Amino acid sequence: MSTNLIALLVIIFRRDIVWCVAATWLCISLWLETPKPLPVYVPTIVFTILHPLALLLALVYVQFYAKERRRGHVALHGEDEALHSDRQNGPAGGGGGDGEQREEQREAREVDEATWG
């Protein structure tokens, strides 16, 4: 019983599918063995159902209800400044002013067909 509880906690908190399959496999192999007393059969049958169900519920919870993991924007490193130009100040990043003003003044340049084919 305690081994199954520890396995259940690992499955819930780590969302580990390999651990879930292994724990379920062990439970199935225990309750398929015929000469076992009732205190062994009941927990193994219950945990055979609980392990995959707990994994599924943990995955659903993280996907739909754990919003703190999805905050913020994607950070893009090293934006290519050659693709943008500032109409008044030359290439992007060359002019002064705050970031919002530069973002409004910058526009994307067209791709040169001779270079890119």
Q: Which residue blocks in 33-78 are alpha helix, DSSP H?
A: 38-64
User: Could you give the 3-state DSSP secondary structure of residue 84?
Assistant: strand
pLDDT at position 3 over 70: yes
pTM, to two decimals: 0.56
Mean pLDDT of the chain: 77
Question: pLDDT at position 63, please?
Answer: 87
Residue 16 φ/ψ, nearest 5 degrees: -95, 110
Residue ranges per structural domain of the chain: 2-67, 81-108
Q: How far apart are CA 52 and CA 20, in angstroms?
A: 6
Amino acid identity of residue 62, one-letter, is: V
Confidence band of 87 (pLDDT split at 50, 70, 90) = very low
Longest dimension (CA), the chain: 86
